[in-house]
């Protein structure tokens, strides 16, 4: 025999089958998982009634607010995609002196007595069109080369060894001035048992500098996954030594410098 509950269920099903307009009771689908209160965000449609979508004016205002950020992101993306090379050359020319003396050599020191934290002179600052290191950018130098040439293009002079140029690496100096020397980032101690002297400190050798052989040309500062080149916001002259096969007018000397930097290393910090 059927139980009372089964009999009641059968009667209900029979009534449902005879009513062609029967609609099942609406199920409770629960409340939205996210309670949206921000007018510019499209909320999850509600289970009943109002669909929760923002008005046209709300969407329009949201687009206006987001447009500057979206444009900046798009410009940055396009610049990155269009920049096929991260290898940038910085070229400049140095005329070391106006001295008209005729001789077979030229030797000069630069920035020797400039202390750390003080602006140097006679160099090139990166990432700024003014002599203001506060606005400069740091980059990694991965290659350097210097060529000698005669300013009048009439000389048949030849360089002889040794002929080289040294530069100080530069860091920012606060106050809207040119860059300054970068102290060595590690400790170094000397031993001078069998030599006259070894110097590892001071304003010339306690700071960072590098040299380029003008006679042989080319100085490579390899950049690999582990070695990133020389970081600096510019270079300033440290020392020039040039030797010639015969005497020549010093004011006609020119040094053509090319430095290669990695654009991807650009930054405001050392």
The model's confidence at residue 217, banded by pLDDT at 50, 70 and 90, is confident
Write down the domain spans for the chain.
4-81, 87-267
Helix (H) or strand (E) holding 249: strand 234-249
Distance separating alpha carbons of residues 258 and 89, to the nearest angstrom? 6
Measured torsion, CA atoms of residues 119, 124, 129, 133, in degrees rounded to the nearest 10: -30
Q: Tens of pLDDT along 79-126? A: 665 566 788 999 999 999 999 999 999 999 999 999 999 999 999 999
Per-residue confidence band for 64, with pLDDT thresholds at 50, 70 and 90:
confident
Q: Residue 237: is the preceding peptide bond cis (ω within 30°)?
A: no
Q: What is the pLDDT of residue 258?
A: 94
């Amino acid at each position: 025999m059927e139980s009372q509950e089964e009999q009641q269920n059968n009667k209900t099903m029979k009534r449902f089958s005879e009513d062609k307009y029967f609609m099942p009771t609406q199920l409770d689908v629960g409340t939205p998982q996210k309670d949206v209160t921000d007018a510019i965000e499209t909320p999850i449609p509600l289970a009943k009634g109002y669909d929760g979508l923002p008005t046209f004016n709300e969407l329009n205002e949201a687009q206006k607010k987001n447009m500057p950020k979206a444009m900046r992101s798009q410009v940055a993306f396009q610049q990155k995609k269009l920049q096929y090379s991260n290898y940038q050359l910085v070229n400049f020319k140095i005329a070391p002196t106006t001295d008209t003396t005729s001789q077979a050599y030229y030797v000069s020191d630069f920035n020797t007595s400039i202390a750390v934290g003080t602006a140097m002179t006679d160099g090139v600052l990166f990432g700024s069109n003014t002599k203001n290191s506060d606005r400069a950018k740091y980059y990694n130098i991965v290659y350097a080369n210097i060529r000698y040439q005669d300013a009048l293009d009439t000389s048949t002079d030849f360089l002889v060894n040794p002929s080289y140029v040294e530069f100080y690496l530069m860091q920012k100096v606060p106050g809207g001035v040119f860059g300054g020397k970068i102290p060595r980032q590690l400790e170094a101690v000397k031993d001078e048992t069998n030599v006259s002297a070894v110097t590892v400190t001071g304003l010339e050798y306690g700071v960072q500098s590098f040299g380029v052989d003008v006679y042989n040309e080319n100085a490579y500062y390899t950049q690999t996954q582990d070695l990133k080149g020389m970081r600096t916001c510019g270079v300033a002259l440290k020392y020039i030594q040039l030797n010639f096969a015969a005497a020549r007018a010093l004011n006609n000397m020119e040094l053509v410098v090319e430095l290669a930097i990695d654009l991807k290393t650009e930054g405001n910090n050392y």
